[in-house]
């Protein structure tokens, strides 16, 4: 039983317009595609404004005058529209510093030491031995600036096998990436719109 | 002037980084304040991206390029959602209605088109002609079948083999990549903080 | 293999039929629940009254189908546990909308501000997660509607990531579980569980093995498994037949392609055979 819900009709029609691309590229699809970029960007702008209201203007009006600094810095991003693009380097310097500081603070502990600790396990099972061997051999593959001794070359060749398995796992996972989205679209079209799916 | 920007980057980096290693009240408070500044600056950067999109497509409309109707659709969508979200609110019933019945289904459909390309690529391009491609395809086949119930129906061993591949050799390879890219990330962060990476523009 | 436009369209139609058929006529199939899924279920069962859980909605429409079904199942499990508070946050612009859709399914009797709060979105990715983990109310002085944090009793219980009993990061890309591990797990000892798309499974298993992640649900399968555990069938279970059909279709396509190439190579004259590349 076809639904009478306006929202579902709208969603179904735009979904069909998008899938019209599968028949042939056409102006309707391009219109929908451009429209989507517009509304997605508009949504991001609306969310950014909420951030500025909650962390900028409201605290400023509440007496926290220090937020004037990031608000002014942020406005400097738009200096290029006033023919002074060099001024935009100032907020970029601060943002870059925050990013670099965050990386220096967290990467050594969480991504290097913790991962190495998890690799140095008791060699009391085949899985643990394969795991440790795999990590060492993959890391050996990335030694580009050291002398390529025989042991390093052998380890590197073994590393290639592990990386092929890793890429295969990622590839298998990626192949499935869009599939559940098709299930979502079909659930909308066949279920909520046309009502042919069993409840 | 470049030295000023480098100095600012270095000071900010040190304050944020040291907060993770030392317990000094002043450093902790400064780091917390800087992180909030980062959120404000990121919000301004989002607006900058949208403004760039706006001026690009406005230019196409004013020059009446062959694709100007599409640019008009883009600008209409951008102004509509940005304006409605800002002035009426992103949780208002009207905004939510159009978000759920336009943005969500179109986004879903656009990204699902990738799956159709993969299907045709499976008929044309996924070939086994070397040990590397054979390893990749066979591993991928086990992972795909291990992710769905039909894998267990075909053979009970498929989910076990798929699980082992993910838990052991895949983890080993991914761990090597995580460690290698983390070390590279630390090196890049140090180069940035010390001004050895040239900023363009 | 050169493919004409009509051949391509035929393949698309056959693929859609293959995927839609199990939705129209569901075929019951066994579903083994993986240990990674049980780990999240057990974690939530072990929560005590008064614990606060953060659900982080870091996905967008392009990755929602997998994750949203699992998010709803997990949310229902949390709401069934007595005295558990749920805080919704997002570091992706679309996240708050999915948080609203999930929280709208809360059972009667749950009170906003006491049992659940939607704080909304903060820009900046990993930096914003770091800010939130360090000081919750400084990063979110109000919720998504603008209600001050001081008027939300649930927020009075949490100052930083040290006070989170569990973080459930639901992500289709970046930021994701790795960022939460670096900014909340490692520095503050927060327990992190993750719900991710299938694409993100391989890298995140390394974090699961190192116990930096407490649990990992992935793809529509993860949603189906969790729905089985909580006894609440939803879109996850409904999609399993279609996923099975899609997997078989693609693998058959790969097999047909490779068999065809093998046959063609064998039929070619020796002088015409190209060496394997």
Q: pLDDT digit string (tens) for C106-141?
A: 999 999 999 999 999 999 999 999 999 999 999 999
> Is residue A42 classed exposed, middle or buried when 0-12, 13-18 and 19+ CB atoms within 10 A define those classes?
buried
pLDDT band at A178 (very low <50, low <70, confident <90, very high): confident
Question: What's the number of domains chain B is made of?
Answer: 3
| pLDDT of the residue at B23 | 83
For residue C5, pLDDT over 90 is answered with: no
Handedness of CA A92, A95, A101, A104 (dihedral sign): negative
User: A15, A45, A50, A139: best mutation site toward chain B, by most B Cβ within 10 Å?
Assistant: A45
The Cα–Cα gap between A53 and A57 comes to 5
* B65 and B51 within one domain: yes
Contacts of C201 in chain A (CB under 8 A): 169, 173
**In angstroms, what CA-CA distances link B90 with B41, B60, C112, C146, C206?**
21, 29, 18, 12, 37
pTM: 0.92
The Cα–Cα gap between A12 and A186 comes to 10
Q: C15 CA to chain B: closest CA distance, Å? A: 8
Domain of B39 in residue numbering reads as 1-87
Question: What is the percent of chain C with per-residue pLDDT over 70, rounded to a whole number?
Answer: 96
pLDDT band at C1 (very low <50, low <70, confident <90, very high): low
**In angstroms, what CA-CA distances link B103 with A99, A180, A190, B200?**
31, 17, 19, 35
Which has more pLDDT, B121 or C87? C87
Per the CB < 8 A criterion, the answer to whether C131 and C161 are in contact is no
Average pLDDT (C234-258) is: 88
> DSSP H helical segments within chain A, as ranges?
6-19, 27-52, 58-61, 68-76, 89-106, 114-119, 126-141, 150-175, 179-186
For residue C270, pLDDT over 80 is answered with: no
**Closest residue in B to A27 (Cα–Cα):** B70
Contacts of A43 in chain C (CB under 8 A): 93-94
For residue C227, pLDDT over 90 is answered with: yes
Question: Which chains pack against B, by 3+ Cβ pairs within 8 A?
Answer: A, C
Average pLDDT (C228-246) is: 89
pLDDT band at B200 (very low <50, low <70, confident <90, very high): very low
The Cα–Cα gap between C106 and C18 comes to 35
Q: Which residue in A30, A106, A162 is closest to B70 by CB distance?
A: A30
For residue C236, pLDDT over 90 is answered with: no
User: A143, A166, A167, A185: best mutation site toward chain B, by most B Cβ within 10 Å?
Assistant: A166
Domain range summary for chain C, segments of one domain joined by +: 38-240
> Is residue A16 classed exposed, middle or buried when 0-12, 13-18 and 19+ CB atoms within 10 A define those classes?
middle
Domain range summary for chain A, segments of one domain joined by +: 122-181
* B5 and B83 within one domain: yes
| pLDDT of the residue at A198 | 82
| pLDDT of the residue at B199 | 52
Question: What is the percent of chain C with per-residue pLDDT over 90, rounded to a whole number?
Answer: 69
- For the ranges A32-46, B137-151, C68-82, C173-187, which has the lowest average pLDDT? B137-151
| pLDDT of the residue at B3 | 85
Spatial neighbors of B149 by CB under 8 A, at least 6 apart, are C29, C30, C31, C240, C241, C244
Which two tokens mark B26?
């002043």
Average pLDDT (C237-246) is: 89
| pLDDT of the residue at B46 | 92
Q: pLDDT digit string (tens) for A143-154?
A: 777 777 888 888
Cβ contact, residue pair A110, C212, below 8 Å: yes
| pLDDT of the residue at C234 | 86
Query: Please, which residues 62-101 of chain A have a Cβ atom closer than 8 Å to chain B?
Result: 66-67, 69-71, 73-75, 77-78, 81, 85-86, 88-101
ipTM computed for the complex: 0.89
Q: Which residue in A180, A186, A196 is closest to C219 by CB distance?
A: A180
Q: Which CATH number does C38-240 carry?
A: 3.40.50
Per-chain mean pLDDT for chain B = 90
Determine the straight-line distance between the first and last CA of chain C, rounded to whole angstroms.
17
Cβ contact, residue pair C30, B46, below 8 Å: no
- Indicate the residue among B126, B150, B174 that finishes a domain: B126
Residue with tokens 């965050």: A102
Query: Please, which residues 106-165 of chain C have a Cβ atom closer than 8 Å to chain A?
Result: 120-123, 126-127, 130, 139-142, 144, 146
For residue C230, pLDDT over 90 is answered with: yes
Helices (H) and strands (E) in chain B, counts: 9, 0
Cβ contact, residue pair A106, C182, below 8 Å: yes
For residue A42, pLDDT over 90 is answered with: yes
A/C interface, count of CB pairs below 8 Å = 135
What angle do helix axes C240-267 and B104-124 make, rounded to 10 degrees? Answer: 30
* B141 and B96 within one domain: no
**Rg of chain B, C-alpha, whole Å:** 25
* B49 and B13 within one domain: yes
**Closest residue in B to A34 (Cα–Cα):** B74
| Local structure of residue C181 (DSSP, 8 states) | I
Question: What is the percent of chain B with per-residue pLDDT over 70, rounded to a whole number?
Answer: 98
**Closest residue in C to A110 (Cα–Cα):** C182
Per-chain mean pLDDT for chain C = 91
Q: pLDDT digit string (tens) for C93-110?
A: 999 999 999 999 999 999
Per the CB < 8 A criterion, the answer to whether C191 and C43 are in contact is yes
Cβ contact, residue pair C254, B141, below 8 Å: yes
Per the CB < 8 A criterion, the answer to whether A7 and A173 are in contact is no
The Cα–Cα gap between C120 and C97 comes to 9
Cβ contact, residue pair A184, C242, below 8 Å: no
Average pLDDT (C45-66) is: 94
For residue A176, pLDDT over 60 is answered with: yes
| pLDDT of the residue at B113 | 92
* B78 and B5 within one domain: yes
The Cα–Cα gap between B161 and C252 comes to 20
pLDDT band at C29 (very low <50, low <70, confident <90, very high): confident
């Amino acid at each position: 039983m076809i639904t009478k819900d306006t929202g579902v009709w709208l969603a179904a029609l735009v979904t069909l317009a998008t899938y019209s691309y599968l028949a042939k590229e056409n102006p309707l699809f391009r219109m929908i595609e451009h429209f989507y970029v517009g509304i997605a960007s508009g949504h991001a702008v609306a969310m950014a404004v909420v951030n500025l209201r909650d962390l900028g203007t409201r605290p400023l009006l509440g007496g926290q005058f220090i937020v004037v600094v990031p608000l002014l810095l942020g406005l400097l991003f738009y200096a290029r529209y006033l023919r002074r693009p060099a001024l935009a380097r100032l907020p970029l310097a601060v943002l870059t510093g925050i990013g670099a500081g965050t990386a220096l603070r967290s990467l050594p502990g969480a991504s290097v030491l913790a991962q190495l600790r998890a690799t140095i396990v008791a060699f009391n099972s085949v899985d643990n031995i394969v795991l440790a061997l795999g990590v060492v051999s993959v890391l050996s593959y990335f030694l580009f600036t050291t002398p390529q001794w025989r042991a390093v070359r052998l380890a590197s060749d073994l590393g290639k096998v592990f990386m092929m398995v890793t890429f295969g796992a990622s590839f298998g996972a990626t192949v499935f990436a869009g599939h559940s989205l098709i299930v979502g679209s079909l659930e909308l079209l066949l279920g909520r719109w046309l009502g042919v799916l069993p409840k | 002037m470049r030295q000023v920007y480098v100095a600012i980057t270095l000071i900010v980096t040190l304050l944020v980084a040291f907060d993770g290693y030392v317990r000094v009240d002043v450093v902790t408070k400064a780091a917390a304040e800087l992180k909030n500044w980062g959120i404000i600056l990121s919000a301004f950067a989002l607006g900058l991206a949208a403004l760039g999109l706006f001026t690009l497509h406005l230019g196409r409309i004013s020059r009446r390029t062959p694709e100007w109707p599409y640019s008009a659709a883009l600008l209409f969508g951008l102004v509509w959602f940005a304006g409605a979200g800002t002035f009426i609110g992103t949780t208002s019933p009207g905004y939510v209605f159009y978000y759920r019945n336009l943005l969500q289904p179109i986004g879903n459909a656009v990204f699902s088109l990738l799956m159709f390309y993969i299907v045709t690529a499976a008929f044309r391009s996924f070939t086994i002609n070397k040990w590397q491609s054979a390893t990749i395809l066979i591993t991928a086949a086990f992972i795909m079948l291990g992710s769905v119930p039909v894998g267990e129906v075909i053979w009970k061993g498929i989910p076990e083999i798929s699980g082992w591949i993910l838990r052991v050799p895949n983890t080993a390879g991914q761990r090597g990549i995580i460690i290698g890219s983390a070390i590279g990330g630390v090196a890049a962060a140090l180069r940035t903080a010390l001004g050895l990476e040239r900023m363009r523009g | 293999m050169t493919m004409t436009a009509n051949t391509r369209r035929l393949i698309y139609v056959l693929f859609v039929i293959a995927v839609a058929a199990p939705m129209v006529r569901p075929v019951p199939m066994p579903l083994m629940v993986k240990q990674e899924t049980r780990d999240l279920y057990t974690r939530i069962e072990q929560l005590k009254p008064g614990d606060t859980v953060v659900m982080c909605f870091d996905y967008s429409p392009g990755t929602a189908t997998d994750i949203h079904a699992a998010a709803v199942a997990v949310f229902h499990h949390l709401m069934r546990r007595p005295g558990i508070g749920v805080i919704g946050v997002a570091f992706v612009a679309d996240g708050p909308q999915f948080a609203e859709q999930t929280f709208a399914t809360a059972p009667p009797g749950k009170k906003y501000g006491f049992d659940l709060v939607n704080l909304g979105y903060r820009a900046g990715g990993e930096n914003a997660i770091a800010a939130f983990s360090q000081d919750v109310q400084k990063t979110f002085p109000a919720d998504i509607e603008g209600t001050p944090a001081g008027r939300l009793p649930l927020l009075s219980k949490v100052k930083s990531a040290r006070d989170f009993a569990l973080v459930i990061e639901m992500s289709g890309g970046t930021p994701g579980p790795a960022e939460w591990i670096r900014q909340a797990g490692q520095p503050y000892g927060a327990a992190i569980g993750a719900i991710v798309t299938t694409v993100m499974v391989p890298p995140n298993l390394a974090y699961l093995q190192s116990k930096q992640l407490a649990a990992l649900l992935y793809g529509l399968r993860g949603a189906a498994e969790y729905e089985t555990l909580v006894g609440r069938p939803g879109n996850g279970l409904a999609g399993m037949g279609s996923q099975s059909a899609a997997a078989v279709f693609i693998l058959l396509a790969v097999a047909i392609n490779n068999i065809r190439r093998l046959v063609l190579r064998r039929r070619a004259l020796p002088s015409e055979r190209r060496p394997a590349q």
